[in-house]
Copies of this chain bind each other. A is one copy, B any other.
C-alpha cells in the first residue's frame, strides 16, 4: 500500500512522472510521452515508458482508461497523496479534461450503497463522464458532433 516501486531514481522516471503531472488535465497516450520526451532531447525508450506507466498505475498514481474508439488507452495523473484519492473525477468525453470533485453527496451515496447493496465503492476509481462547460458551449455554438 505504501509501495516504493521506484527502487532507483533515474532521469527517465523523473521525466515521465513530470510529464504526467504537467499534463494532468488532459488525456495522454504512451506514444505521446515517448515522442514528446524524445523531441525534448530526453533519451527514453518505449519499453521504459510502458514499464514505468504500468508501475505507476499499480501504485495508483496514474489511471488508465479509454475515451474513444480511436484511442485504445490513455493515461492520466491522479495524484500520489492519499488525500488526492478521496475525491472522484469528472472527465469530459470531448476534450479529455479531468476535473476533481469532492462532494458530500457522493459520500452519502457511497454509504447508502454499502448499506443497501453491500457494495463497497472505491471513490478514487470513480469517474463521471460527460461534457465540461467549455465543450458544451462550443458544441452549442457549433451545433455539431465532431468528437475529438
Contact = CB atoms under 8 A, between A and B. Distances in A.
Interface in A51-89: 54, 57-58, 64-66, 69, 72-73
Nearest to A111: B105
Contacts of A121: 90, 128-130
Interface residues of A, number: 37
Interface string A110-124: 001100011111100
Contacts of A57: 69
Interface of A: 54, 57-58, 64-66, 69, 72-73, 90, 92-93, 99, 101, 103, 105-106, 108-109, 112-113, 117-122, 125-133, 136
